[in-house]
Chains A and B, each alone.
Chain A
Amino acid sequence: MAAEQKMTYETWPASPEKQTLEAKNKFLGFWFFLGGETVLFASLFATYLALKDKVPSSDMALAKDLFEIPLAFIMTMLLLTSSLTSVYAMYHMKNFNFKKMQLWLGITVLLGLGFLGLEIYEFNHYVHEFHHSFTSSAFGSAFYTLVGFHGGHVAFGLLWITTLMIRNSKRGLNLYNAPKFYVASLYWHFIDVVWVFIFTVVYLMGMVG
């Protein structure tokens, strides 16, 4: 089946994300990449756990002074909901409903932007209220590297999904771009997977002490 072939609702396959050889390779390659990302984030988590609360002087803020439940909770809810909306987008992709897919991807992007905005506010708050910066302590370096890397992934994911949406806005769905949307949504879910560990290990365990 040619990738650029004009598809209809009737000819749309059950697994459009794995229909062509290129799509199969993309699917496999992307999961391989996610395996590597797991190692990358695990090493950042390991560094954070080893350096948590390691500050040069006793008057500097520790994890339990910094983190607040409400903000972490709202950020978690935003990202978790955006994960569901991207599931909705892929549901409409499988049903060959391009408009609804674009709509749900748009909602996903908005929720992601909300998350990113709160993270920027959070970092700004720590730097100005607590003098907890990237260079202030080993704890600060480890914290901003881990959480910032995740935030960077969110920012990249937003750019990626937005680019795909704009690039294909007038094309509709075909077997060439369906795998692209699918892989981008996998990436978005993976961002949420990492965040589950961040809110547990960094925020909740930080507040417990």
Chain B
Amino acid sequence: MANADCIVLQGGNMAEAHPVGFQWVSEAKARGARVIHVDPRFTRTGAIADRHIAIRAGSDVVLLGALINHVLSNDLWFKEYVLAYTNAATLVSEDFRDTEELGGLFSGFDPATGQYDLQSWAYAEAGGDGGVGSPSGQAGEHGSSKSDRAAGDEHGSGGPSLEHAEVLRDETLQDPRTVFQVLKRHYARYTPQMVQELCGISEDDFTYLADSITQNSGRDRTTVFGYATGWTQHTLGAQFIRSAAILQLLLGNVGRPGSGIMALRGHASIQGSTDIPTLFNLLPGYLPMPKVGVHDSFEDYLEGIASKRQKGYWTHADAYTISLLKAWWGEHATADNDWCFDYLPRLSGPHGTYQTTVGMLADEVEGYFVLGQNPAVGSANGRQQRLAMSHLKWLVVRDLSLIESATWWKEGPEIDSGELRTEDIDTEVFFMPAATHVEKAGSFTQTQRLLQWRHKALAPPGEAQSELDFFFKLGQRIRAKLADSTDERDRPLLELTWDYPVDGHGDPDPEAVLAEINGRFVSGPDAGKPLSFYGQMATDGSTAGGCWIYTGVYADGVNQAARRVPGGGPSPSQHEWGWAWPADRRILYNRASADPDGKPWSERKKYIWWDEDQGKWVGDDVPDFPEDRAPGARPDPNIGGPEALAGDDPFIMQADGKGWLYAPKGLVDGPLPTHYEPWESPVANSLYPQQQSPTRVVFAREDNLGAPSAGTRGDEVYPYVFTTYRLTEHHTAGGMSRWLPYLSELQPEMFCEISPALAAERGLENNGWATIISPRAAIEAKVLVTDRVKTLTINGRAVHQVGLPYHWGVGTHAVVSGDAANDLVGVALDPNTQIQESKAGSCDIVAGRRPRGQALLDLVADYQRRAGATVDTDNVPRVTDPEAETVTPRPDGEVSGEDGFSRW
């Protein structure tokens, strides 16, 4: 970020949520960079920025789409970059129909399932009318199966698979079926006027933003975007980020110094826990968890990840998978048993945390481990979370203190409201004290993929122990109890490699686990030696490695994550501090920092370039490209794999080597970002008849009712938009901050931020109390009347926003407590990521404290009744207005489905 010429911070509050990282924004600004903050609230980020632009929560795709339109219509895109490095020239299948033609839907939507069939979105196929589909003729993975795997999340560093990389291109970009022309048509109506109407942003502010980013992009200059959960926590969160990706690719801002889209993530190792995932849909290194009906055989599984005929490094997924299975089942994993592939359990749909919550309420889940997380406060619809836990047979909470997820049975809000009685709750609760970060050694992966090792400073106190120690011992105990079992299902546990070296207390050595993650040669001349690069992983079982993208972190038997050369050493990439995956590359796709001929785009933005004399890529970083692939190399794309990458294919994990402006696969809710209103919105979608994302994941249940959207009966009952956020002095659900006296003193109380106009409308006084009511709950908060939150004019009428920090919870053990903002949030999810929409919801706000006991439940129910919110209204048809939505006839004249909806 320090190398950027323009920094756009949108969907986050970096100065307050990432204060120390923000020093690099300040550094860039001191050197002349322009900083713009786009956010519903004016915060310290906005205060430091050259300009703060207030936006209505949830309308970012309109703004970003209008910027894309601005760049395309005014010919401001970076021509050499876009032509060579993106799929702008690639032709899309003739069957594809855009939202412009179908009233806000793409082709392939099935209103019965609420899912898309992705087949018509494919690239055009040479000499045929079909599209470039999935490997092994799976004819375009069906929408339902994609969604069920939460597919978007599976392609961590790379794109989804293509059958092959032989795509059709029109380098003149004139063919109406080129991605470039599709893009132009799709965003034609995303205009500055539309931005004013839907986002509440003036034309002057729009022009300032558009000029800033376009004038600071090109050969000599770069613009960077930074975002946080203000983009991800929406029913179309992945598409918020996709729209920034399109814009950045058009401006040539990917793979270069001071460019890109930075995810400003919020936990010390949230990146690491995605790479080595404690997530349902992934295995380490973004390999998918196998799914029943799709991955029944090992062959199907590998074909599903990548075809051998596509380009790039995913074609070696067989080596990565076999090495993982060898790391887990050692000698038991052989070629004859498909390396124990059948020891892996199978998914059958999304098994995300909210689906699991529903499973608990249905008494299907008996036991639950809660590990350094506080769902009673931090998850959406907190009441549903707490009631779900009361259905468990047993609960294990591992944390530093008695967080609300450990004490709800005794002092949770439902005890107060009378919904639960302690003496009726059958759940057994184990509280296991955890070690802090200084009482154990291990690595965190921070937000830029950098692994940093922490040394152990001292032993944990009392009975506290690390997760490593706890799970190692739990595994030992379970294995011992099953040792004599002859049951087939116990074999994966009994044959698991679980023999880590231990210290005097029996605690496992974390470096030994890191070494297993890194991988080693199992046989051959180097048997026992650590691997140094994922390219060494083999398909014959001669290597083992727990996470292929981390291979190299233990190269030469040295813990590279523990490197601590002051300042990272002399190189601009500061290589000698920690270790970045993959292969210690600090900027991904850095081949794009040079022009198609391999020369730096400019002296100012020089980073990686082709050295003709040495015949290799050189520069300030490890090249993220085959080291000796000349810029002019044009191998036959059909040979597949890394060998098929042309010298101008910088996106080495993509199936065609190009940056995807248009995503023919990989997203389940559309190949191009499209604006839909949030699940709950008091604003009508002016762009399309379709109000909400048609593929949003909803849970129509009594305990998760939704507010009526604009234009439907009862929409006046919850008239305001609420959004949630963090404060500098607290951390997420408070487990690591509300127990600290310093931090609790700095931010003692739950509050809400509202504009003077809303305060006047509702008679709210600064420092007085307010009750905020959503269809899920009512909470109380102190009132902060401030100009920081603007009342925006949307579609000609005032829209008020309520800002809510979400750090407090109800309990007696923390230094400070208060009502939890997440109790208000409903569970409606992005179908790609299964992430809930916390950043925009509907509420009412009234003066005074909330009622207690049964009266609180009555208040919430009264609002629901007045709004007419029921499970039935929640089950509203996914398509807002069928008449307006579906444009028939189909292009080939075939009759559409019986319900009038087109399926193709």
On whether the two chains bind one another, the answer is no
Give B residues with C-beta under 8 Å from A.
Answer: none
